[in-house]
Structure 1
Amino acid sequence: MLNDTTLLLDLDGASVVRVERLADGGRRVHLVTADETARACPACGVFATRVKGSAVTRPRDLPYGESGLEFRWHKRRWWCREAGCLRRSFTEQIPQIPAGARLTARLRGAAGRRIRDVGSTVIQAARDLHLSWPTVMEAFRTQARDVTEAPLPQVTVLGIDETRRGRPRWERDADTDKWRLTRDRWHTGFVDALGHDGLLGQVEGRAAIRVGLPHATVVVDHFHVVQLADKMLSIVRRRTTAETRGRRGRASDPEWKARWRLLRNREDLSDDQFATMWNTLLGEGKIGQTLLTAWIAKENLRTLLALARTGAGRHQVGHARWKFLTWCADSDIPEVRQLATTVARWWPEVAAFIDTGHSNAKSEGINRVIKLVARNAFGFRNADNQRLRTRCVTTRRACGQLRTAQL
C-alpha cells in the first residue's frame, strides 16, 4: 500500500495505513508489511501461504519533529508449509526491523555514526535518541568495523607519539605473589605523518621503536628540541634569580617582566621589543648577561634547525652546528652545556630532520583530539573503548566516513 505518508516515512518494507494524534501531542503511526519476502521462512526460505495469526509490535525509529512518532506494526504470523523444516511458524520481518528487534536498523546505524563520524559522546547520543548507554555503545562498535577492519595503507613516514591516559593499574599475581602491571598509563599512537590516513592504531605502553623498526630512519621532532631549549631558558632564569636575589622572582624584577619575550622567536619580536628586552637585561648585571647568553644559545639552535627544507649543504650545516656547540661550551652555564650535550647525543636524529624536513606535527594534532575526546567523556575506565573511540574520531575523514557539505 503505497501512499504519500509511506514515502515520507521512507521505511523500506513497511506501509503506513493510518496516523492518529495522541492526547500528549504525539503521533501514532500504524504500519503493515509491504515486502512480499517477509513471508519467507527464515529457516528454509520457503514462502508461506497459510496465516496462523497476527501480532502487533512497537519498534522505535529515528525521532521525527519535536514530539516524535510512535509505531504500531500490524504483522502476521505464518505457518511454514515445508515438511522438513524444524521451524513450524514465524512472524514477518523486514531488513529494517528484524524479528525480535525493538529498534529499527537505521536508528541503530544513526546512533553508531553519531559517535564514529561526529565525535559525539555515547551518553550524549543516548540522550538525543532516547536510548540506553549499552545500546548506543553496541551500535557504535558495529559501525566502527568499517574503520577497524579496513586495510592499513602503505606508509612512508610514520609519526609516533605518546599520550598519557590515566593512572597505571597493578594487580597481585596469585601464583607468584608479585605485583604486575595490568594497565599502563601511556598509549602510543602511530600516525600517517606524510599521507592523509590519520591515526593508524594505538598500543598500550611505550613502543620500542629501535627494536620494532631496526632499519627505520628515526627523525627527531624539532618542536620538542625547541621546547627543550625554552625549558632550559626558564630554568636558568629561576636559578640565577634565586642565587643573586636570594628569593623567587617577583613581578617587579626586570627578568620576570622579560620572561615571555625571552621565550619568543627573534623574528616574532619587533625591533622595539627586542631593543627593550636586550637593553633592560644588559643593565641588570650578572642576571641579565646570563639570560642573554642562554637566549643566544636557544636562537643558535633554532638557526641550525631552520636549515631543514632549505637544501643546505654539509658545510653550511656543520658551520651552524659548530657555532651552536662552541657558544654553549664557552658560556660556562650548566643548563646551556647540558642542552648542547643532549643535542650532540641526538645528533643523528637531528641531522635526519635537517635532511628530510619531516616533523611530528600530525601526531601532535591527533594527540590534541585524543585528549579532547577523553575530556569530553570525563575519562575512560575501559582502555579498549578509548582506543576505539580515538581511532574512529581521528580517521573519519581519511576513511570517507564524514562527508562535509560542499558549497
Structure 2
Amino acid sequence: MHSSGNLVADTICRTAEIGLTITGAADAGTLTIIDAAPVAVDDQCPGCQQPGKLRDHVTRRLVDLPVVGFPTRLHVRVPRFTCSNPACGRKLFQTSLSCADDGAKLTHRVTRWILQRLAIDRMSVSATAKALGVGWELVNQIAVDACRQLVYDNPDHLDGVRILGVDEHVWKHTRRPGQPSSFVTVLVDLTPLVDGRGPARLLDMRPGRSADVLRTWLQEREPEFRRQVQVVTMDGFAGYATAVDQVLPQARKVMDPFHVVHLAADKLTGCRQRLQRETTGRRGRKDDPLYKYRRTLLTRTNYLTERQKQRLDLLWATDDEYVALEVTWMFYQDMIQAYGHPQKSEGKKLMTRVINTLRKGLPPGLEELAQLGRTLWRRREDILAYFDIGASNGPVEAINGRLEHLRGIALGFRNLNHYILRSLIHSGQLQARINAL
C-alpha cells in the first residue's frame, strides 16, 4: 500500500462527500483498491442507544465509482463495538456508513451513477457493468429496483397529468406458439409538452393491446387522477376509445392526424390496386402507370415537382377508369391540406366539409372512399377535436422510436418486466429524480 495526502486523494476521488477519508491505495491490475476510514464514527448501540466499547476493526468492501477508467473497490476500516449495557440484547455491533446501506455491496452514488449512465448517456447494462467491474445481473437488478422506487413507489409520479397519450408498441418481434402477445400498451404524459414546460414523459407500460388493458390501468389509478385527465390522444384503434368512454367520460378523445391521413392513404392505395386488377387482370408491374406512380400518388401536392405533376396529369388521361382514383386522391389531398392549414379553425372547417361530403353518399365505383367516409363519420368528434386542442400522438410515436433504439442498445429483451422498467429509465424523464438520489 502507498500512503498519500488525505486532502489531495479525497479531492480527486471525492470521498469526503460520502463521509470517508482515504488512508491508502493499491494497484490490483484491473482494479484500483482504495483504503479508507469513516470521517465520523458513531459508537451508539442500535439496540439501546448507549455508547459502546471499541472491540476491533473489520474491513468492509464496497464498489465505488471508477477512477481514471479503472473499476474501484473501497476497503473501509470499520470499527466494531461491544455494548456496555448488560440489559441490551445486542452484544456486538459495527459502525454504519452513510455512503452505503448495511449489507449493501455498492455505495449510494454508484446507484445514481448507474441510472445516469442508462438514462442520460444511453449506455447498455453490459457497458455499465464493465466500467464498474461487476456482473450484469447486479447492475440490472440495481437499476430496475431503483426505477421501481422512483416510479411506482413515488406518490407524485402521476401528478399534473391532464393530457394522456395512448398507443401500442411491439416490444419483441419473435413470439413462439403459446406465448403472450408481443404488444404492450404505452401511456405517455403529454402535459409538459403542450404547456411548453418540457418533453413528454413515459408513465407506464402494460402487456397487451385491448380495451380491457387500458380500462384496467385507468381503474387502478386514484379517482383524483381520473378526474384530472382532460384529453386522451390515440390512434384509430377502437378498443382504446371504448375504454376511455367507460372510465373517463369527461375526457375528450383526440384521434391522431397521422393515423387519420394514413387511413386515407390506405384507401387510396386500395383503390389503385383494385383498378390495377380490374384493368390488367394482374398485380402491378414496373412499367404499369398505376404501379410506376404509386409513390407520387401519396406525395403531398405542396411537395410535388413539375415532373411529378406531369406524371399525374398523364395518369388521369390514360384511362377513363382512373376517375375513381383521381377522386380518391383529391379527398386524400384535401385531408392533408386541412391538417396543414395555418389556422386551426379553417382547418377544422375543411375537415368537416370532407367528412360531410363523404357522408352524403357516393356514386358506384368509389367503394374505398365510402369505407373511409363511414370511418371518418364514426370518429368525427375525435378527429375534429384535434383542431380545438392541438394535442396529438406524435410525441408518443417519438417515444416508441426511442424505445426501438433502447432495444438496439440492449440487443433485445427477453424479460418484459425488465423491458418496462428500462423503458421508464430511458424515456420517463427521471433525470431530476436520479440526480437527487
Q: TM-score, normalised by structure 2?
A: 0.77
Aligned-residue offset at 1:265: 0.8
Write the mapping of 1:377-392 to structure 2, written as runs, cut at 5 A. 377-392=410-425
Q: Does 1:147 align with 2:143?
A: no
CA contact (8 A) 1:35 1:94 kept: no
Query: Equivalents in 1 of 2:354, 2:372: separation in Å?
Result: 15
- The 3-state SS of whatever aligns with 1:32 is strand
CA contact (8 A) 2:331 2:354 kept: no
User: Quick check: 225-234 or 1-10, which moved more?
Assistant: 1-10
Q: What is the letter of the counterpart of residue 10 of structure 1? A: R
Cα pair distance change 1:32/1:353, threshold 3 Å: closer
Q: What is the letter of the counterpart of residue 216 of structure 1? A: A
Give deviations 1:127-178, integer Å, cap 9, x for gaps.
332222332123213432233315112333322212233578998xxxxxxx
User: Quick check: 255-264 or 346-355, which moved more?
Assistant: 346-355
Cα pair distance change 1:200/1:19, threshold 3 Å: closer
- The 3-state SS of whatever aligns with 2:345 is coil
- The 3-state SS of whatever aligns with 1:158 is strand
Q: Does 1:123 align with 2:121?
A: no
Corresponding residue of 2:135: 132
Corresponding residue of 1:4: 8
Cα pair distance change 1:259/1:129, threshold 3 Å: same
Query: Equivalents in 1 of 2:77, 2:265: separation in Å?
Result: 71
Query: Equivalents in 2 of 1:302, 1:114: separation in Å?
Result: 41
Aligned-residue offset at 1:84: 2.3
Q: Does 1:237 align with 2:272?
A: yes
- The 3-state SS of whatever aligns with 1:59 is strand
Give deviations 1:72-119, integer Å, cap 9, x for gaps.
333332222122222211233311144444332222332233334444
Q: Does 1:217 align with 2:252?
A: yes
Cα pair distance change 1:125/1:28, threshold 3 Å: closer
- The 3-state SS of whatever aligns with 2:251 is coil
CA RMSD of aligned residues (A): 3.2
Q: Does 1:247 align with 2:251?
A: no
Query: Equivalents in 1 of 2:180, 2:27: separation in Å?
Result: 54
Cα pair distance change 1:156/1:289, threshold 3 Å: same
CA contact (8 A) 2:115 2:425 kept: no
Corresponding residue of 1:78: 81
CA contact (8 A) 2:21 2:37 kept: yes
Corresponding residue of 1:276: 310
Corresponding residue of 2:432: 400
Give deviations 1:343-376, integer Å, cap 9, x for gaps.
1222222232334333222222222223332343
CA contact (8 A) 2:256 2:386 kept: yes
Aligned-residue offset at 1:224: 0.6
Q: From the CA coordinates, give the structure whose radius of gyration is larger.
A: 1
Cα pair distance change 1:212/1:330, threshold 3 Å: same
Give deviations 1:169-198, integer Å, cap 9, x for gaps.
998xxxxxxxxxx94543222222342452
Corresponding residue of 2:381: 348
Write the mapping of 1:83-94 to structure 2, written as runs, cut at 5 A. 83-94=86-97
Corresponding residue of 2:35: 30
Query: Equivalents in 2 of 1:155, 1:19: separation in Å?
Result: 50
Corresponding residue of 1:336: 369
Query: Equivalents in 2 of 1:341, 1:391: separation in Å?
Result: 38
Corresponding residue of 1:176: none
CA contact (8 A) 1:249 1:256 kept: yes
Q: TM-score, normalised by structure 1?
A: 0.82
Cα pair distance change 1:138/1:25, threshold 3 Å: closer
Query: Equivalents in 2 of 1:194, 1:31: separation in Å?
Result: 47
Corresponding residue of 1:45: 49
Give deviations 1:8-49, integer Å, cap 9, x for gaps.
222233222233445x48654322332222x3333333332x
CA contact (8 A) 2:144 2:418 kept: no
Corresponding residue of 1:227: 262
- The 3-state SS of whatever aligns with 1:36 is coil
CA contact (8 A) 2:338 2:348 kept: no
Cα pair distance change 1:170/1:400, threshold 3 Å: same
Aligned-residue offset at 1:306: 4.7
Of 347, 350, 363, 2:396 maps to 363
Cα pair distance change 1:203/1:75, threshold 3 Å: closer
CA contact (8 A) 1:237 1:255 kept: yes
Corresponding residue of 1:177: none
Corresponding residue of 1:299: 333
Aligned-residue offset at 1:256: 2.3
Of 105, 109, 114, 1:111 maps to 114
CA contact (8 A) 2:129 2:136 kept: yes
- The 3-state SS of whatever aligns with 1:187 is strand
Query: Equivalents in 2 of 1:255, 1:62: separation in Å?
Result: 63
Query: Equivalents in 2 of 1:162, 1:85: separation in Å?
Result: 59
Cα pair distance change 1:318/1:232, threshold 3 Å: closer
- The 3-state SS of whatever aligns with 2:187 is strand
Percent identity over the alignment?
A: 24
Query: Equivalents in 2 of 1:246, 1:374: separation in Å?
Result: 43
CA contact (8 A) 1:329 1:337 kept: yes
Q: Does 1:260 align with 2:288?
A: no
Corresponding residue of 1:54: 57
- The 3-state SS of whatever aligns with 1:90 is strand
CA contact (8 A) 1:309 1:355 kept: no
Task: For structure 2, list consecutive stretches of 5 or more residues without a partner in the other structure.
Answer: 194-199, 215-242
Task: For structure 1, list consecutive stretches of 5 or more residues without a partner in the other structure.
Answer: 172-181
CA contact (8 A) 2:184 2:206 kept: yes
